Amino acid sequence: MPCCSGSFLLSAIVRDQGISYTQAEWAELLMTRKRTSSHKRQKQISSQRSRERNLRWIRIGGLILIVVGGLAALGFYRASTAPKVDAPLELMADNIDGPIDAPVRIVEFGDFGCPSCRAWHNSGIKEALRSEFGDRVSFTFRHFPVITLQSPKAAEAGQCASEQGQFWTFHDFIYEQTPINALSVEQLKGYASSIDLEPDQFSQCLDSGKYKSYVARDQQAAFSAGAAGTPTFFINGRVVSFSYESMQAAINHLLGQ
């Protein structure tokens, strides 16, 4: 609005009320009106800015809730769908050495091409734990074939042996009787004959790749559990060092000893 319009309007109101002002009073009246009008505009601007800030925070808060809710849902989904470390009912029974309902369950993620797995097997730790704790402990071998290019097929061979009820015989033969990393398909078939597996059944099983998905599931379970190498051991779902002392202490704790 032009500056003179307000003055004209005020002058008209004053005349209508029969009020007369000196020039100084008139000027002061105009300034008061301008200050009042400016103050109102500032309040309106401030109020508008406050509403805009509140709306921004509401939008940000809503976005945070959506993100947090999404992450929580994703975490729940992953937790509910990730393969479990200790899942005896999902495994072939022959991969479990000991009672399936043992109060202490030791799970090894290993690789038939892994020198450290071979060394642990030949250290006698398993036998010592079995001697001390008996049927209160079970041992489960799960595949984590990450050491050599031949390891995945060797893992499948282990399951073909398991199909004939000879997983641990095959497992022990690999670690005790064969050269390190001698895991070609033909060598694996030769080992099967050496431990008196039915050769045609074993060969057909290995050639078919029927346990490829089984091995992949074991490997995914290892990754999901945070296994960083082979061998990795879990006792009742918790990772432990593979020394005898560490395993013994963990077992004693679980058994309340």
Instruction: Note down the domain range covering 108.
Output: 88-255
CA 182 to chain centre: 34
The answer, yes or no, to whether residue 227 has pLDDT greater than 90, is: yes
- For position 199, what pLDDT does the model report? 96
Unique residue bearing structure tokens 């809730």: 65
Do 147 and 228 belong to one domain? yes
Same domain, 213 and 243: yes
Do 70 and 106 lie in one domain? The reply is no
Domain check: are 54 and 164 in the same one? no
Q: How confident is the model at residue 5 (pLDDT cuts 50, 70, 90)?
A: very low
> Does residue 93 sit in the same domain as residue 217?
yes
pLDDT of residue 125: 97
Which of residues 30, 50, 80 is at a domain's end? Answer: 80
Residues 34 and 130 in one domain: no
pLDDT tens digits for 59-97? 665 555 455 444 444 344 343 444 567 666 678 889 999
pTM for the structure as a whole:
0.68
CATH number at residue 215: 3.40.30.10
Same domain assignment for residues 93 and 68:
no
**Structural domain count, the chain:** 2
The side-by-side arrangement of strands in the sheet containing 232-235 is 96-97, 137-143, 104-110, 232-235, 238-240
From CA 45, how far away is CA 180, in angstroms rounded? 80
Residues 170 and 189 in one domain: yes
**β-pair type (137-143, 238-240):** unpaired
pLDDT value at residue 81: 43
Task: Judge whether residue 106 has pLDDT over 90.
Answer: yes
Of the three residues 34, 59, 80, the one that is the final residue of a domain is: 80
Per-residue pLDDT, averaged over 193-206, amounts to: 97
Asked if 158 and 219 sit in the same domain, the reply is yes
Residues 16 and 114 grouped into a single domain: no
pLDDT for 10 equals 46
Cβ neighbors of 162 (< 8 A, separation 6 or more) are: 92, 94, 95, 170
Quick one: 118 and 183 in the same domain?
yes
233 phi, psi to nearest 5 deg: -115, 140
Does the pLDDT of residue 129 top 60, yes or no? yes
